[in-house]
């Protein structure tokens, strides 16, 4: 990796690069696209995330370009005596920059932020097909502890 990685909150001007990152993901199956007709959907989602006090969308910037992204959400439950925790979502590193420590720095950023805010844990889910990602998360200290389920409604 050449240059210093900067992790910062995403700006609306980052949207095209973020959309391209998600659209290039062959495994995720989220239906992301760079088709201009879909841009209003992304803009609406970005605005909702930006307006939320419990969600933050980040970019990892390298030499002025978006190199990766992730989103965090904060949740509080009655279990664990009212524990608050951080959920890490939508972790993506640009294909041409993988293996250079960008993903590690993004996750370490999340862990440090959660610790500084006194959260009980950080957690994430990963597509079952992403075996390399699972090994990556385990190397960083995450343990596969739960089985997730989802139901598509659209």
Stated as kind and residue range, the H or E segment containing 102 is helix 102-116
> Are 71 and 109 spatial neighbours (Cβ–Cβ below 8 Å)?
no
* Domain-embedded: residue 150: no
Please give the model's pTM, rounded to 2 decimal places.
0.92
Q: What is the pLDDT of residues 51-85, one digit of tens each?
A: 999 999 999 999 999 999 999 999 999 998 999 99
> Are 61 and 75 spatial neighbours (Cβ–Cβ below 8 Å)?
no
Full domain range(s) for residue 65: 5-139
Write out the two tokens for 20.
């391209």
d(C-alpha 115, C-alpha 134), whole Å? 22
Q: What is the pLDDT of residues 109-145, one digit of tens each?
A: 999 999 999 999 999 988 888 888 999 999 999 999 9
Instruction: Supply the CATH number for residue 119's domain.
Output: 3.40.630.30
* Domain-embedded: residue 154: no
């Amino acid at each position: 990796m050449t240059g210093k990685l900067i992790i910062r909150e995403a700006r609306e001007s980052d949207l095209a690069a973020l959309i391209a990152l998600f659209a290039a993901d062959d495994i995720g199956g989220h239906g992301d696209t760079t088709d201009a007709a879909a841009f209003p959907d992304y803009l609406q989602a970005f605005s909702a995330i930006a307006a939320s006090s419990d969600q933050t969308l980040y970019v990892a910037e390298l030499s002025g370009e978006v190199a990766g992204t992730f989103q965090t959400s904060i949740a509080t439950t009655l279990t664990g005596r009212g524990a608050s925790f951080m959920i890490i979502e939508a972790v993506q590193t640009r294909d041409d920059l993988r293996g250079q420590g960008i993903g590690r720095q993004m996750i370490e950023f999340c862990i440090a932020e959660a610790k500084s805010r006194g959260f009980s844990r950080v957690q994430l889910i990963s597509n079952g097909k992403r075996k390399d990602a699972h090994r990556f998360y385990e190397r960083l200290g995450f343990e596969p502890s739960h089985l997730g389920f989802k139901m598509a409604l659209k």
